[in-house]
Chain A
Amino acid sequence: MKFVDEFRDRVIAERIIKKIEGFASFKANLMEVCGTHTMVIFKQGLKGMLPKNVNLLSGPGCPVCVTSQEDIDKAIALARDKKVIITTFGDMMRVPGTDSSLEEEKGNGADVRVIYSPSEALKIAKQNSAKSVIFLAVGFETTSPLIAASLLDARKEKIENFYIFSSHKLIPPAMKALLDSKEVKIDGFICPGHVSVIIGGNAYRFIAEKYNAPCVITGFEPLDVLQSIHMLLKQIEENRAEVEIEYFRAVHPQGNRIAQELISEVFEPCDVRWRGLGTIPKSGQKLKKEFSDFDAEKEFRPKIKKSKENPDCACGEVLRGVKRPTQCKLFRRICNPEKPYGPCMVSSEGTCAAYYKYGGGLA
């Protein structure tokens, strides 16, 4: 496939690794923020190819994983309403809430449908006018412009039984929260490629300038990831902290303006709770007042008991890069993709799922 195969060349990969091995005089903790990068790194075995002084940490970039337990419980409560059809991306289905999951509710007769695109949710709403169709809007900046576009379509077409449950989150505030906490030493960020397509490279400048942390926006093929690691190490060695764009075939410093306008027409920033990271100021996106008639939470007021996470589940620490999945007492012993105890084992992009599937002997 064009733009894919040529970025998987083994000979070039080996050459970049040689270059990476040249930076042997210092240790570097590099965080890959995005869950899709985590999967590429594990699937292609990149972690094992790197020298010992280069340590890759997985960050909070899997939207399903960072969704708070309260939001999971609310989604489950919404699904129990007989007048409601829930539409969702597949990864949400098996995330364990406090006492159930969407999959369990579906088994008990709830109408929960897995969809590929928010425009499909809109179609379902049109075909089921007697029911209320709620889309579980979980995702980062890559996804929220699509949701905004679907809401504008719903308004234009006067579809009145379509709602969203907004659990959108923003990446740069989470990176700032990790740096502010000083819990983990992060020497550089492998920045998410497709979030950056929308927000642009300039959105990370404050990270480089105020926190002195190098940022490289990275594509999703093995050569992209290796090249970005090389670029980060070079910045560290030269004592620079800048935003560089390795993925410049798709990412521009200013991002995608049309997408940004869609977001700001429909959403506004709000404080929001992340699993593992707590409440981060202005890190969420709620519907603007003019669009509040689409707000499922306002319309249906889902009632939940006090949300509880499994006290032994280390997803919170894994999402902050503090613990590796192998340091969790549940990992592999009782927690596995068949019977996940936390979202990082459920999601196809979760760090625990990546370790389980591809981690092998890696500690």
Chain B
Amino acid sequence: MCLAIPAKILKIENNLAQVDMAGVKRQADIRMISNIKVGEYVLIHAGFAIEKIGEKEAEETLQLLREMV
């Protein structure tokens, strides 16, 4: 039940954003995220964005995994 899905921010209007969640457009409440911009990714849980996903951090994680020998 703590499932949260990555989604891309398409449009922002006050506390609400239109997001693309695996190809489906939905509305999400973004009041819990500060300084969010169109094009950035968030995790959506039950209609609310709960955190930004760091692109740089994701790439760093993958880099660490790829370098594992």
Cβ contact within 8 Å between B47 and A120? yes
Interface residues of A in 1-51 (CB under 8 A from B): 1-4, 6-7, 9, 12, 15-16, 19, 34-36
Given contact pairs A12-B68, A119-B47, A249 touches B61 in the complex (Cβ within 8 A): yes
Q: Determine if B32 is an interface residue (Cβ-Cβ < 8 Å).
A: yes
Cβ contact within 8 Å between B34 and A227? no
Cβ contact within 8 Å between B22 and A1? yes
Closest chain-A Cβ to B17's Cβ sits at a distance in Å of 13
Chain B residues contacting A197 (CB-CB under 8 Å) are 4, 43, 50-51
Cβ contact within 8 Å between B68 and A15? yes
Given contact pairs A16-B68, A347-B1, A118 touches B46 in the complex (Cβ within 8 A): yes
Contact of B32 among A7, A36, A91, A258 (CB under 8 A): A258
Cβ contact within 8 Å between B48 and A256? no
In the complex, which residue of chain A has the Cβ closest to the Cβ of B22?
Answer: A1
Closest chain-A Cβ to B4's Cβ sits at a distance in Å of 5
Given contact pairs A2-B8, A3-B41, A117 touches B1 in the complex (Cβ within 8 A): no
Whole-angstrom distance between the alpha carbons of A143 and B4 in the complex? 10
Whole-angstrom distance between the alpha carbons of A246 and B57 in the complex? 10
Cβ contact within 8 Å between B65 and A194? no
Chain B residues contacting A258 (CB-CB under 8 Å) are 31-34
Cβ contact within 8 Å between A256 and B32? yes
Chain A residues contacting B69 (CB-CB under 8 Å) are 15
Interface residues of B in 20-43 (CB under 8 A from A): 22, 29, 31-34, 41, 43
Chain B residues contacting A91 (CB-CB under 8 Å) are 1
Interface size class of B (residues with CB under 8 A): 20 to 34
Given contact pairs A3-B53, A15-B68, A63-B1, A246 touches B32 in the complex (Cβ within 8 A): no
Given contact pairs A250-B51, A259-B32, A143 touches B65 in the complex (Cβ within 8 A): no
Given contact pairs A2-B41, A149-B31, A194 touches B22 in the complex (Cβ within 8 A): no
Contact of A194 among B31, B32, B45, B66 (CB under 8 A): B45
Interface centre among B51, B58, B68 (most CB of A within 10 A): B51
Cβ contact within 8 Å between B2 and A192? yes
Q: Determine if A89 is an interface residue (Cβ-Cβ < 8 Å).
A: yes
Cβ contact within 8 Å between A250 and B43? yes
Whole-angstrom distance between the alpha carbons of A73 and B39 in the complex? 45
Q: Mark A111-135, 1 if CB is under 8 A from B, else 0.
A: 0000011111000000000000000
Can you give 30 A-B contacts (C-beta < 8 A)?
A: A1-B22, A3-B6, A3-B53, A3-B58, A6-B58, A12-B66, A12-B68, A118-B47, A119-B29, A138-B1, A142-B2, A143-B1, A143-B2, A146-B46, A146-B48, A192-B2, A193-B2, A194-B50, A197-B43, A220-B3, A248-B57, A249-B53, A249-B54, A249-B61, A250-B52, A256-B32, A258-B31, A258-B33, A262-B32, A349-B1
Q: B: which residues have CB within 8 A of A? A: 1-4, 6, 8, 22, 29, 31-34, 41, 43, 45-48, 50-55, 57-58, 60-62, 64-66, 68-69
Q: A: which residues have CB within 8 A of B? A: 1-4, 6-7, 9, 12, 15-16, 19, 34-36, 61-64, 89, 91, 116-120, 138-140, 142-143, 145-146, 149, 192-195, 197-198, 220, 223, 227, 246, 248-251, 256, 258-259, 262, 347, 349
Excluding A146-B47, A262-B32, 15 further A-B contacts by CB distance (< 8 Å) are A2-B6, A2-B41, A12-B65, A15-B69, A63-B1, A117-B47, A119-B47, A139-B1, A140-B2, A143-B46, A146-B45, A146-B46, A223-B65, A246-B61, A250-B51
9 interchain residue pairs of minimum CB distance: A117-B47, A249-B57, A142-B2, A249-B58, A3-B6, A194-B2, A197-B51, A117-B46, A146-B48
